[in-house]
Amino acid sequence: MNSRAVPDTTGIAALVTTNPLLPGDESIFEVHPNEPDFPYLNIRTIHISRESDRFNPSTNLIGMIIYGYRGATDFYLNNRNCKIGHILIKRSDEMNHIQADTTHKKLFKWFFGQDLPPEFIAGGFAYQNGQWKYNALVFNTKQDIYHNNKKGMSLTEKQLLGGALSRLYINHRWQQDPNISVREIFSSNEGWQLFESVNTVVNPNRVDKVNKYGRAATIGVTGKYYCGDYLDVIRCSCCDGRCGPGNGCNCSGCMELDIENRRLPKGTLVNRDGAPASRSRIDGQTFYCGRPVLRRTNSCDGYCGPNNGPQCYACQALNEQTPRYKTLLNEYDYT
């Protein structure tokens, strides 16, 4: 297996790998044991429970990502079936009536109907006062086979969880399809910055420019320009309606800077993952970036396009946002 990310010394010890023998060249998130006689716990897909609450930026939330129970990754606990990679997110105020000494223990008890057993392996996180947090004492500091005693999550764990939240949960995509592959999550850098302060979201070597609306724009972690103001023309269904500030969709003024900076040909835009995308030569409408980020099946070679077939999620979002960038599609050609 080939390493795709390097673990650090906090929280779960984990590594993202690619196994060329797996169908579709799937990526795997490996949870490493602290002792050699215990199995690795492998995640290929993240699933958000249908019992989760819908994201609302003004509501505090409590969540957990499940890794296993007694070393098993597909298990029953108090007659409830769970698998590794399942995520549950609930409103914090809905847990107040439950008898337990921490909010994450309350969340566990609400879901499983019993007190938290020591053999349960999970990661805890929360959304409080507009900021995502990963310092969950009840899960992340357990000194079990798969945790150390650190309060935080490892970098790869934050990338996995942040990617799932930003690409599946916050945009409400999970209500149509609650699953996302590890491969799709790690196809871009989007996600880890959810658990960082705003100042660390922006590239430290950023280039400041002023967009056509007179707003200062900086390069985010996706390599795209963002000004942090409200998106123009139409409101996205995939984000919070802001241009960045570090990832996601951008306004037409900042997209114009993306096109200028990369000297892209006419008709090419940059999707929310930071990948250049052009419209299909067949239908002239559907955007494709050509990246190998999809699950390979009998009807899909794993690539987004480049001229037909399934789109990646970022290019689907770009099609939805075409009215915002209509002028740019017709005017600019920097080749």
Spatial separation of the C-alpha atoms in residues 314 and 310, rounded to whole Å:
12
CA-nearest of 39, 47, 42 to 15 is: 42
Q: Quickly tell me which residue has 């970098």 as its tokens.
A: 155
Render pLDDT for 48-87 as a digit per residue (tens, 0 to 9). Answer: 999 999 887 678 999 999 999 988 999 999 999 999 999 9
Query: What torsion, rounded to 10 degrees, do the Cα atoms 68, 158, 190, 208 define?
Result: 180
φ, ψ dihedrals at 81, nearest 5°:
-85, 130
Average pLDDT for 141-164: 70
Q: Is the peptide bond before 245 cis (omega within 30 degrees of 0)?
A: yes
CB 122 within 8 A of CB 31: no
Q: Which of 105, 122, 19, 113 is nearest to 70 (CA)?
A: 122
Closest CA to 27 of 37, 14, 11, 36: 14
CA-atom Rg of the chain in angstroms: 21
Q: Give the orientation angle of helix 322-331 with respect to helix 252-262, to 10 degrees.
A: 40
Kindly compute the dihedral angle of the four CA atoms of residues 30, 162, 182, 188, in this order, to the nearest 10 degrees.
-120
Computed over every residue of the chain, the mean pLDDT equals: 79
Q: Which of 192-196, 205-209, 235-239, 331-335 has the lowest mean pLDDT?
A: 331-335
Q: pLDDT tens, 161-179?
A: 888 887 888 778 898 899 9
C-alpha dihedral over 46, 47, 52, 53, to 10 degrees?
A: 60
Tell me the average pLDDT across 273-298: 88
Phi, psi for residue 194 in degrees, rounded to 5: -60, -30
pLDDT, mean of residues 303-323: 90
Is the separation of the CB atoms in 271 and 277 below 8 Å? yes
φ/ψ of residue 282, rounded to 5: -85, -55
Q: Structure pTM?
A: 0.58
Are 212 and 258 in contact by the 8 Å Cβ rule? The answer is no
What the block records as the tokens of 192 is 């880890």
Give me the pLDDT at residue 22, please: 36
Q: Return the structure tokens found at 29.
A: 């998130």
